[in-house]
Each structure stands twice: as C-alpha cells, then as structure tokens.
Amino acid sequence: MVSAIGEVLMRAHVVALLLVVCLLTPARSEEAPAGGGSVPSVHAQIAYLGKSYAEAEPLSLVDKIYDDKGVQGARVGIVEDNMTGRLIGHDYKLIEAIVAEDADITVKARELLAGGVTMIVADLEPADLLIVADLPEAENAIIFNIRSSDIGLRHDNCRRNTFHIPPDWAMRADALAQYLVWKKWYKWALISGERPKDKDFAAALRRSAKRFGGKIVAEKTYAYQGGSRRTDTGHQQIQTQMPLLTQNLGEHDVIVVADVEESFGDYLLFRTFEPRPIAGTHGLIAASWHRSYEESAATQMQNRFEKRAGRIMTERDYSAWLAVRTFGEAVTRTASTDLAALRTYLMSEKFEVAGFKSQGLNFRSWDRQLRQPILLAGPRALVSISPQEGFLHPKYLTDTLGYDEPESKCKLKN
Amino acid sequence: MQIEELSATTSGPVFMQRFAIALALLVTSAASVQAATAFISNEKDNTISVLDLETLKVVKTVPVGRRPRGMVLSPDMKELFICAGDDNRLEVMDTATFEITRKHETSGPDPELLDISPDGKILYIANEDDGLVTVLNREDGKALAEIQIGVEPEGMAVAPDNSVVVATSESTSMAHILDTKTLKVVANVLVDTRPRVAEYNVDGKEVWVTAEVGGTVAVIDSATRKVKLKFGFEIPGVRPELIQPMGVKFTRDGKRAFVALGRANRLAVVDTATYKILDYVLVGQRPWHIDFNGDGTKIISANGLSNDVTVVDIASLKAEKSVPVGRLPWGIVVKP
C-alpha cells in the first residue's frame, strides 16, 4: 500500500519533471549543454532485428564471405550516434537480435516491442519483414528495412511503419539504364537467372529500358547449377559455355545480366560471343555503396568502418549504418524518442541525413524509400554516379530513379 | 630626364615635394617586388603550388605528404603549416625558401584543417578519422592535448581574443566551442548538415559556420554561443543540392563576406550588416577554400574539379583570370 502510493507519487513527480523539461526545452534546441550532462535526458534503444539466412556465396574468390554484413554497420553507427549524443545528453543503445533462419521472427519481435524497443533496423527478407510490420504491437514502431531491394515492399506491400534504406530493383535498374543511354548503348541483350530475385531484377531492367529509350533486343535465361565457388578445373567449361549462351542475340551494344543469386554473372565477363560490356548484377553494377567509392568524404567512412570491423564495408553495412544514423539524426533534431514526433520529422521537409553522397538524403513521401544517388561501379573502380546529366525532374533529380509518385502503387496516408 | 628637369627648373619647396613623390613611387615599387604569394594544396597530387600573385605564375610546386588539405600561416608569416591527412602528419614550410623544414607526426591521425593562436604558439588541428582536436605546441611539435568532439571534425577557428576555439564536426552537425585555457568543450551548437568551415568576423563578435549539405551559413553569436540566424543561397538555374557552402572570408573593412559554394561553381558575396546576398561570382569548378590577395583587392578561389584557381576583383566582382595548378586544389592561403 505504502509502496503503491510511493510509486504514484514518484510517477507524478516524473510527469511534473517531464513537463518542466518540455517547457524549458525548445523543440529544436540550437544549443546543447556543454560537455554532455552526466545524466542523459534522452535514451534511445535501437534494435537490430535479423535472421541468419543462408546466402548465395559470391562467385568470385576475391569477394570474401562475411556472416556479419549489416550488423557491423549498425555497430559503427551507434558509436557515432553516441559521440554526438554524449555532447547533448542523449544516449543510444543497440540491441542485436539475430535469430536462426527457421525461427519464428514474431517471438523476438514481440519480445523487443513489449520491452519498449520500437526503433527497429530490420535485416529481414520481405516475408519476415511484413510479418513484423503487421504485428499489432508494431503499429507505431519505426522500422528501417536495410536488406531487401524488393519492389513490392515499396509498392503494393508498403507499410506505414516501414521505411526503406537500400535502393529497390527499380532504382538500381534505372541508374544503370540512364548511364547506358547516356553512352548511347541502346540495344540490350538480357540474360537472367531463374530464381525469384533474378526475375524481379530482370523485370526492373525491362521497365527501365522502356522508360529511358533502351531496347531489349534479345532475352535468354540461364540456369547454371552453381553451389560451389571452388572449381579447380572450372574455367575450361565456362569458356565454352558462355560464348554459346551469348550467341545469336542479334545486334546488341551491351549484355545486361540479372543474376542476383550469384550463379553465373561473373563468368560472362570477357567470354561473350561478341566483344560486349556486361552490366547489371555483374560487370557494371548499381549500388548504394562500394569499396571503390571515395568522394564526398566517403573515404572517412571507409576508414572508420575498416578500423572497427576489420574488413571492407559492404552495401548492407552501409544501409545499416545509415539506418542507425537516421535514427540518431531524428533523435538529435527533435530531442525526443517519441515515435510520433520522430515519424513526423522523418517525413518532413526539414529532415535530411548525410550519407557521403554530396547531398542531403530524405524519404519519398509516397513509399518511404530513401532518395539517393546510386553508384555505378565496375569490378575494381567507380565508373559513374546516377542520376546522369540531362535526366530531369521538377523536384528531385534522384526521383528519376525508381517509381515516381504518380506511378506508385503504395496508397498510404501519411 | 625627370631628374634633369627637376634640378634645372625647380626651386626648393617644389623640388622637395617632387622628390617626396618620387621617393614614394620608389618605395611602392620596392614593396611590389615583395609580391604576395598564394599557397595552394593539391589534394590528389600531394603537392603545394606556390603562386606569385603579381605575375600569376606558379613559381614552384613543392612535394609534400599524401592528401594535403588544410593549411595555416603563422602570424609572423614565416611558416606555413600543412595537414598531410593520409600520412597522419603536419608539415612545416619555410615561406621564404619554400622548403619543408619540419614534419610533426604528433598531429594526430588524418589531420584535415587547423588554426593557430594569435600569438603563434599553439596549433589546433582537426583529426577527421578519430573525432579529435589535437592541440600542438608549435615550438617543439609536442602534442599538448587531444580533445574528443563529434564525428569527422573539420573546421577550426581560434577566436581573435584567443579565449576559445570553434571546431566543427561534419557528421555530428555541430560547432563545438573549446576553452583555450581548460581545453574543455564549453558549448555545442547544433547547425545544419555537414558543417565544414568556421570563421570569425572582423570584430570577433560572430563566428560563421558553413554547412555543406545543409546549404546554409549559421551565424553564431560569440557572446551567447547561440545561432543568431541562418541564411541560405538561391541561384536561378542552379539546383539546390549543388549549393555547398564551404570556405568563408571577410573583407578587411568587415562589410562583406565571400562564401565559396562548391559545386554551384560560384562565390557568394554577402552584406555582413543585413546578411543579404549581394551577388554571385562564377569561378572555376567546385571552389572549396578562398583567400584575399596581399592588399585585399582580389579574392582567389581554389577550384577542386577544374584544377585551377580563379582571381576575382572585389571592386568589380568580376572573375579576372584562372590559373592552372595541381590536381584537386583544396586549400588556399595567401602570404601578403
């Protein structure tokens, strides 16, 4: 009884204190207390929710196999959020919650949400992501997809509580298409794998061709049974198979390849029937991050990451880093962890996050996908950055990449 | 011939007067022999271009450490301090001989920009990779302190009265005010995204901080340590994301400021009383840092993407000449 009264009193006291703090603190404090208060005023908990999915191994032995893609980026991000937070009395905690592929994701998700962890960095495939997003407890959560390029998630399957950091297949295909058209390589021969993600990217390439004046002059699918990247005598077979695959494609300027699952894409390079460049998932690729990228202070990010993680920064690491930084930016600027305030801020004109792309990045209002310039990289060096010169848009040039507002099937009210 | 005329035809006072004029002319021409020199750091070439501002010719290209960016001149103008980021050190150039005389490995990792105390004794260096400000003793190159600030420190400005140093951190989007006596952070001021350069105005009452990605300048009141106001830039026909405010310099009379606008390829001319933009001057591609010539009649921009510097006449606000230097010119410092 006594303790209950005590608790009520305590609570009333806390509420009164909060009110005082609210009254004293402007919504967007320009000046922060010096040196960081000893008692942080804002605590932000960010969950890294993922599954350890079995992934296709990269074909090239040059690409190392990592089982911690993504989470390493989040770890660097949280250190940076705390470096900023420390100065203004905010602190951040990263809760790593990675479960087995066959685990029921709802168990971990519910546990986090019940514990009040409502800022979620989701390293999940689309089906699992939607299960989490649709949990009643997650209704007001803020979820950042950092893994999937699935168009559906930003389209018919979009969710009010889910934002997308990596570019989807459409943005990537458009980024490539603009460059190919700028090069006047209009005639494309499309070779795609037969797995679902290969088909998704192939469909995006077809759409991009139509959008930007390219023409798919021939199409082939290829079902190379991969599975082992170690093939001691493999190259002779590949050397005879690839010319066969790329024969009779008609007159074409470039071969575009959709092999997301790494079963043959790299084998096309230098082995085509006619001497042609390769673009798509291999050869010239479209990505939000690449080790060869150094502009706009990207070098600093590459160095910071490598120092902490002991390996190069992959695209998923970049997405996770950016997701954690986006939470940090929103908390810093609103001086709050209130979900409604954060969401309003993330969707507002005021929001921008810096991601080493020489411009502020923000979210598209219609599908909550991050606007960003896309890197075009060859196997060893950066080639270009899209959008390309001359592709215009009344609002954001980056909105020439992917589904623009009128084309979007995402019907969310903000 | 003039002297003949003088001696033949003039009486005392008139002669004296003419003599004085002649003397003045002589002094002027003697002074112009000591022409101002611009030092330009070429980030990609690992060199400093030494530009004679009288002839606008590069008189020497000095190899330095890797990725030279920020530079500062000692108050006695005898030494130029150069951040060689990728070699994690500070190099010191003798401004008379253009030789590198010392290298300080004590600069802290990845030094980017720096400033020096008005008495010339202490250097404050931004260490971009480690979120630090390194405080260095000029005399012996000894590191006196390392101060943790935000992520990616860059801008550095010592107050004219030497009381505080303003450091910016790009990723944290703050200007940090450090007390020069206690070497502690005494205030953190949130500004727009990716603050790059901090510069005190002529009377020291304001410090201007440029935000490269935010596209604005925050004017911080030195006394209250609060943002007094922010202003941005609008250029017809130039997309907002290309407007990247970077280097700032105030004219000697304090009435105008020049702000380099990065990929907008222009310098903005700002009225410091009203904070209104008076004009934009087209220069080379991606001007980052700027400095005045010896007598303050020209301003010169280091243009990263066109590998040159552009000389702008301040009275007419016209770009007069561009001079090729090394690859990726980043910083520029003029020894008057």
Domain A170-287 has CATH 3.40.50.2300: yes
Predicted pLDDT of residue A413: 54
Q: Which CATH number does the domain housing residue B294 bear?
A: 2.120.10.30
CB A114 within 8 A of CB A141: no
Distance CA A241, CA A334 (A): 58
Predicted pLDDT of residue A237: 78
CB A333 within 8 A of CB A317: no
Predicted pLDDT of residue B35: 83
Q: Work out the minimum CA distance from A303 to partner chain B, whole angstroms.
A: 7
| Average pLDDT of every residue of chain A | 90
Inform me whether the pLDDT recorded for A35 exceeds 90: no
Predicted pLDDT of residue B322: 98
Residue B103: inside a domain:
no
CA A387 to chain centre: 18
User: Which of A29, A35, A353 is nearest residue B190 as measured by Cβ atoms?
Assistant: A29
**Residue A38 pLDDT class (50, 70, 90 cuts):** low
CA A405 to chain centre: 20
Which DSSP state fits B65? S
Taking an 8 Å cut-off on Cβ atoms, the answer to whether B128 and A300 are in contact is yes
Inform me whether the pLDDT recorded for A225 exceeds 50: yes
User: Where would I find the beta strands (DSSP E) of A177-270?
Assistant: 187-192, 215-221, 254-258
Predicted pLDDT of residue A199: 97
Inform me whether the pLDDT recorded for A141 exceeds 80: yes
pTM, 2 dp? 0.88
Distance CA A318, CA A117 (A): 22
Predicted pLDDT of residue B29: 45
Ranges of residues in chain B whose predicted pLDDT is under 70: 1-34
Inform me whether the pLDDT recorded for A192 exceeds 70: yes
Inform me whether the pLDDT recorded for A242 exceeds 70: yes
Inform me whether the pLDDT recorded for A180 exceeds 60: yes
Between residues A30 and A402, which one has the greater pLDDT?
A402
Residue B181: inside a domain:
no
CB A254 within 8 A of CB A277: yes
Q: Write the pLDDT tens digit of every residue in B255-312.
A: 999 999 999 999 999 999 999 999 999 999 999 999 999 999 999 999 999 999 999 9
Taking contacts as CB-CB distances below 8 angstroms, the residues of chain B near A32 are 174, 187-190
Taking an 8 Å cut-off on Cβ atoms, the answer to whether B188 and A31 are in contact is yes
Residues spanned by CATH 3.40.50.2300 within chain A?
4-166+294-372, 170-287
Three-class SS of residue B241?
helix
Q: What is the mean pLDDT of residues A384-401?
A: 95
Interchain CB contacts (distance < 8 Å): A and B: 89
User: Where would I find the beta strands (DSSP E) of B254-317?
Assistant: 256-260, 266-271, 277-282, 287-292, 298-303, 308-313
Between residues B27 and A367, which one has the greater pLDDT?
A367
Taking contacts as CB-CB distances below 8 angstroms, the residues of chain A near B172 are 80, 83-84, 87
User: Which of B151, B187, B190 is nearest residue A34 as measured by Cβ atoms?
Assistant: B187
Between residues B232 and A22, which one has the greater pLDDT?
B232
Q: Which domain holds residue B268?
A: 242-336
Residue B100: inside a domain:
no
Predicted pLDDT of residue B28: 46
Hey, is the C-beta of B194 within 8 angstroms of any chain A C-beta? Answer: yes
Q: Work out the minimum CA distance from B263 to partner chain A, whole angstroms.
A: 9
User: Which of A35, A80, A359 is nearest residue B185 as measured by Cβ atoms?
Assistant: A35
**Residue A263 pLDDT class (50, 70, 90 cuts):** confident
CB A362 within 8 A of CB A350: no
Hey, is the C-beta of B149 within 8 angstroms of any chain A C-beta? Answer: yes
Distance CA B81, CA A308 (A): 30
Class of residue B110 by CB neighbours under 10 A (exposed 0-12, middle 13-18, buried 19+): buried
Q: Which of A225-234, A236-245, B136-145 has the highest mean pLDDT?
A: B136-145
Domain A4-166+294-372 has CATH 2.40.10.230: no
User: Which of B131, B171, B227 is nearest residue A30 as measured by Cβ atoms?
Assistant: B227
Inform me whether the pLDDT recorded for A118 exceeds 50: yes
Between residues A262 and B91, which one has the greater pLDDT?
B91
Residue B137: inside a domain:
no
Predicted pLDDT of residue B106: 95
**Residue A184 pLDDT class (50, 70, 90 cuts):** very high
Distance CA A189, CA A198 (A): 15
User: What total of structural domains would you count in chain B?
Assistant: 1
Taking contacts as CB-CB distances below 8 angstroms, the residues of chain A near B194 are 354
